[in-house]
């Protein structure tokens, strides 16, 4: 039986799994990586903890993929989150599941995942070459016959799997090389936009509370142009010099498409555990205790220190007004603001700061069962290089793993026919 020869370009999460699995299937694999270290972006994911998948069903996984989830139906059902977890544990990484079914290594170290995937490749006999592939060499049929870097030319491969990622965190090597390579053989690259990224705002409350982290808050995001709610969430967020960030904001950013300055309005519920009537009673109780204080000092027990002064400004009530002089109408305004603190979004932070890239090689030009190119007969894709992204929670790495598995399986199966 012929030994299939595979070139995998890009040694991130998708590339290492594709290379390791293909080698396990008996293929002769060369893994090309432009950096001297493998898995650089994987090593910083989840603030260095690596939320590597989500312990959910394939159906739930697809619901968490932005826009193109149906494309992944075959890949995710053949390599599920449970399969990812079983593989990592087989490779010596004990796992744990936290809130929202997010899966992490027990060690809380992303480097453990990187090293395990590298071992997967090395023990399988994968040849690792630190070189940046810049060009495909093709024959008259469009088939890739060789790879060219600045240093030399590589040939003799039956198939190529492109796993170069997107353009977020370019310091890790994600600079769009894969998009250029795919375009050179006729592929369409859809517009590249930031996904899972901080949001900019000119609102004074963001600047004045810079660095303040809020826990157990709820947000509602409204598309003011279409006059409809596009997202709700509960969790943590952060005020920044540029606007807002944190887990619920990063997730919300994936829903803000197309982005237009001023189009999206976020309302923050500072007290989601209390309805407006209960909150009003709480406010009355506090006002009763501090009735002789100035209004500026009315929220010592209700709000974090950094938020109090900006909140008082937003209320539109004189800071030196005595609490016992606050009217019922003013109190109603305060309650509304506590439940609906507004932040107007002006845009995304730069794509270089995004956790993942939205857009990429068009999935219309890729076979969903095999990840094979419809433009180039021996080219396959895996991971973020494609127009696939998902919400936070481990879904994006699962995209990388299941598409990498699909591509390597397809190549090995085809060569055995």
Count of CA atoms in the C-beta half-sphere (13 A) of 277 = 0
Residues whose CB falls within 8 Å of the CB of residue 353, separated by 6 or more in sequence, listed in order: 168, 169, 194, 197, 198
Comparing C-alpha atoms, which of 171, 165, 163, 132 is closest to residue 44? 171
99 part of a folded domain: yes
Query: How many CB atoms sit inside 10 A of residue 238's CB?
Result: 20
Looking at 296, 314, 348, which one is the last position of a domain?
348
Q: Which two tokens stand for residue 48?
A: 């260095």
Comparing C-alpha atoms, which of 1, 119, 97, 101 is closest to residue 61? 101
Distance separating alpha carbons of residues 159 and 164, to the nearest angstrom = 16
Q: Are strands 5-9 and 53-54 parallel, antiparallel or unpaired?
A: unpaired
pLDDT digits (tens, 9 = 90+) for 391-414: 989 999 999 999 999 999 999 998
Q: Alpha-carbon dihedral of residues 229, 230, 232, 236, nearest 10 degrees?
A: -120
Distance separating alpha carbons of residues 81 and 64, to the nearest angstrom = 13
pTM flag (> 0.75): yes
Is residue 171 very low, low, confident or very high in pLDDT (cuts 50, 70, 90)? confident
169 part of a folded domain: yes
pLDDT value of position 417: 37
If you average pLDDT over residues 81-96, what whole number do you get?
A: 98
Same domain, 336 and 395: no
Distance separating alpha carbons of residues 237 and 401, to the nearest angstrom = 29
How many structural domains comprise the chain? 2
354 part of a folded domain: no
**Domain extent at residue 243:** 198-348
Q: What share of the chain is helix, strand, coil (3-state, %, to 5)?
A: 40, 25, 35
Is residue 416 very low, low, confident or very high in pLDDT (cuts 50, 70, 90)? low
Same domain, 172 and 243: no
Distance separating alpha carbons of residues 191 and 58, to the nearest angstrom = 27
Same domain, 216 and 339: yes
Same domain, 33 and 181: yes
Q: Domain with 263 in it: what CATH number?
A: 1.10.8.50
Whether residue 305 is predicted with pLDDT greater than 90 in this model: the reply is: yes
Cβ atoms 360, 167 nearer than 8 A: no
Same domain, 159 and 228: no
Cβ atoms 259, 315 nearer than 8 A: no
If you average pLDDT over residues 337-347, what whole number do you get?
A: 98
Whether residue 26 is predicted with pLDDT greater than 80 in this model: the reply is: yes
Whether residue 335 is predicted with pLDDT greater than 70 in this model: the reply is: yes
Overall size of the chain counted in residues: 417
Same domain, 65 and 146: yes
Distance separating alpha carbons of residues 207 and 119, to the nearest angstrom = 46
353 part of a folded domain: no
pLDDT value of position 40: 93
Is residue 190 very low, low, confident or very high in pLDDT (cuts 50, 70, 90)? very high
For the chain, percent of residues with pLDDT exceeding 90: 92
Cβ atoms 23, 7 nearer than 8 A: no
pLDDT value of position 276: 96
Same domain, 51 and 83: yes
Residues whose CB falls within 8 Å of the CB of residue 278, separated by 6 or more in sequence, listed in order: none
Q: Domain with 21 in it: what CATH number?
A: 3.50.50.60
Distance separating alpha carbons of residues 31 and 95, to the nearest angstrom = 27
Same domain, 163 and 240: no
SS3 100: helix
pLDDT digits (tens, 9 = 90+) for 43-61: 998 889 999 999 999 999 9
pLDDT digits (tens, 9 = 90+) for 97-155: 999 999 999 999 999 999 999 999 999 999 999 999 999 999 999 999 999 998 899 99
Distance separating alpha carbons of residues 198 and 238, to the nearest angstrom = 9
Residue in the block written with tokens 């299941």: 402
SS3 205: helix
Q: At what angle do helices 328-339 and 276-289 cross, to 10 degrees?
A: 120
Is residue 66 very low, low, confident or very high in pLDDT (cuts 50, 70, 90)? confident
Question: Considering the chain, what is the average pLDDT of its residues?
Answer: 95
pLDDT value of position 415: 62
Same domain, 47 and 179: yes
Whether residue 173 is predicted with pLDDT greater than 80 in this model: the reply is: no
Distance separating alpha carbons of residues 133 and 155, to the nearest angstrom = 12
The CA distances from residue 3 to 28, 400, 406, 407, in Å, are 7, 25, 19, 17
pLDDT digits (tens, 9 = 90+) for 364-397: 999 999 999 999 999 999 999 999 999 989 999 9
Same domain, 159 and 66: yes
218 part of a folded domain: yes
If you average pLDDT over residues 212-228, what whole number do you get?
A: 97
């Amino acid at each position: 039986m012929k030994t299939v020869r595979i070139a995998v370009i890009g040694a991130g999460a998708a590339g290492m799994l594709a290379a390791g699995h293909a080698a396990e299937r008996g293929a002769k694999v060369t893994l090309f990586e432009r950096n001297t270290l493998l898995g650089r972006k994987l090593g910083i994911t989840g603030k260095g903890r690596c939320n590597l998948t989500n312990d959910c069903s394939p159906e739930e996984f697809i619901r968490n993929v932005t826009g193109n989830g149906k494309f992944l139906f075959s890949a995710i059902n053949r390599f599920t989150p449970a399969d990812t977890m079983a593989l990592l544990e087989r490779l010596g990484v004990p796992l744990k599941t936290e809130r929202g079914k997010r899966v992490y290594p027990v060690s809380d170290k992303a480097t453990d995942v990187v090293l395990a995937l590298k071992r997967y490749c090395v023990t399988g006999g994968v040849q690792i070459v630190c070189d940046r592939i810049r060009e495909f060499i093709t024959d008259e049929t469009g088939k890739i016959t060789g790879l060219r870097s600045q240093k030399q030319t590589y040939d003799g491969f039956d198939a190529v799997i492109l796993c170069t990622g997107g353009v977020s965190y370019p310091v890790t090597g994600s600079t769009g090389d894969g998009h250029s390579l795919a375009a050179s053989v006729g592929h369409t690259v859809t517009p590249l936009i930031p996904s899972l990224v901080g949001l900019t705002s000119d609102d004074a409350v963001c600047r004045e509370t810079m660095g303040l982290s809020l826990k157990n808050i709820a947000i509602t995001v409204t598309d003011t142009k279409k006059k409809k709610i596009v997202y709700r969430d509960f969790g943590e967020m952060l005020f920044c010099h540029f606007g807002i960030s944190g887990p619920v904001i990063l997730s919300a950013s994936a829903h803000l498409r197309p982005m237009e300055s001023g189009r999206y309005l976020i309302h923050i519920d500072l007290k989601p555990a209390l309805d407006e009537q209960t909150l009003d009673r709480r406010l009355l109780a506090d006002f009763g205790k501090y009735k002789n204080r100035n209004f500026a000092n009315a929220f010592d027990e209700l709000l974090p220190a950094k938020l109090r002064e900006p909140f008082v400004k937003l209320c539109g009530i004189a800071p030196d007004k005595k609490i016992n002089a606050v009217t019922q109408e003013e109190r109603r305004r305060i309650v509304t603001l506590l439940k609906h603190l507004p932040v107007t979004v002006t845009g995304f932070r730069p794509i270089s700061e995004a956790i993942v890239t939205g857009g990429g090689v068009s999935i219309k030009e890729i076979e969903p069962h095999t990840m094979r190119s419809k433009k180039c007969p021996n080219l396959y894709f895996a991971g973020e290089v494609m127009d696939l992204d998902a919400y936070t929670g481990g879904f994006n790495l699962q995209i990388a793993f299941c598409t990498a598995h699909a591509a390597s399986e397809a190549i090995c199966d085809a060569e055995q026919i």
